[in-house]
Structure 1
Amino acid sequence: MTPNARSAAPGCVFCAIVAGQAEASVVYEDGTVVAFMDLNPVTPGHLLVVPREHAVGFEDLDRVTGAHVWSVGHDLARALRRSGLRCEGINVLVCDGEAAFQTVFHFHLHVIPRYAGDGWTTVPATLRRERPHLDRDAQAIRNALAPAD
C-alpha cells in the first residue's frame, strides 16, 4: 500500500461523494463502499462501486476491500437484471491506470447495464501469440505473484 492511500485525497470527487460533500444518486452503501449512479453513464442504469477509503488502483486496494467491491458489484448486477430498467446484459469493468482509460484516480468498479443496439462497444483488435511467448509471459506473471495475505 502506498503512503496515504487509505485517507481521503484532496480534490478527489469520489472522496467528496463518500464524505457526503458532493451530490450523488446513491443506490447502496455500507461501512466499506458506496455505490451510486455514474454522472456520465454509458447506458441508463450505469453504476459505480467506490471504496470509502481512497485507493488509486488495484495496487493500493487491500484484498478484503477489493473482494467486497466485487461482491457488491455482483449484487448490483443482479439488481439491475431484476429492476424495471429491463437490461439485456451487464458489463463489469475496472479501468486501472491512465493507459486503461481511468479518468478518476480513486478505484471504482463500473457496473454497466447493456441493451440491444445501445451503441457502446468494447471489441478490441486482438493479436494471436505463439505458445512460447504465452508461456514466457505466464512465467513472468507467476514470478510476480505476491503471497496470499
Structure 2
Amino acid sequence: MGETIFSKIIRKEIPADIVYEGDTVLAFRDINPQAPVHVLIIPKITDIETAKDINPAEHGQLLADMFEAANKIAKDLGVSESGYRLVINSGRDAGQEVYHLHMHLLGGRKLNWPPG
C-alpha cells in the first residue's frame, strides 16, 4: 500500500481528533462529517487497501478489533442505544477516497435507507 493521509495520522504527523486508540486500531472524527457523529475507524498495523483485500484467516482478529472499537465509540459518544451505522466503502464506485481500509461510524440522527 502506498502512503496515505491515514498513515500520517497513525504516525501523528497530521493532527486528528482521535476518539479511540488501541494496539491495532485508531479512530478519529471525520473532517467532513455526514452525521452529528461521524468517526473513521482504521487499522494501524496492516496494509489492507479495500474490503476485497481482506483475508479472513489473516485479518479476522483485526476485523474483530475494529468492531469492538466501533461498539465502544458508539457507547462513548452516546449513539449506542439510539442506533448507528457502520459503513465500509470498497473501491471508486462505492465512494472510497482513501485506499486504506476504514470503517465509518455514523449516528446522532435518523439515517435514511437506502443510503445513496
Does residue 102 of structure 2 align to residue 111 of structure 1?
no
Report the CA distance between 1:79 and its aligned residue: 2.0
- Where is the strand percentage greater, Structure 1 or Structure 2? 2
Residues 1:41 and 2:36 aligned together: no
Output one character per residue of 1:34-79: Cα deviation in whole Å (capped at 9) or x when no partner: 1100011102221011101232022334121111111111211222
AA partner of residue 123 (structure 1):
P
Instruction: Please say if residues 36 and 109 of structure 2, whose CA atoms lie closer than 8 Å, have aligned partners that are also in contact.
Output: no
Among candidates 46, 60, 72, match of residue 53 of structure 2: 60
Higher relative CO (Cα under 8 Å, sequence separation at least 6) belongs to 2
Residues 85-124 of structure 1: matches in 2 within 5 Å?
88-116=82-110, 121-123=112-114
1:72 match: 69
Q: Where in structure 2 are there 5+ consecutive unaligned residues?
A: none
For 2:84, give the aligned amino acid. Answer: I
* Cα deviations by residue, 1:92-136 (Å, 9 ceiling, x for unpaired): 1111111221111111111111314xxx644269xxxxxxxxxxx
* Same amino acid, percent of matched pairs: 28
Larger Rg over CA atoms: 1
Mind listing any 5+ residue stretches in structure 1 that lack a counterpart?
Answer: 126-149
Change (3 A) 1:122 1:104: farther
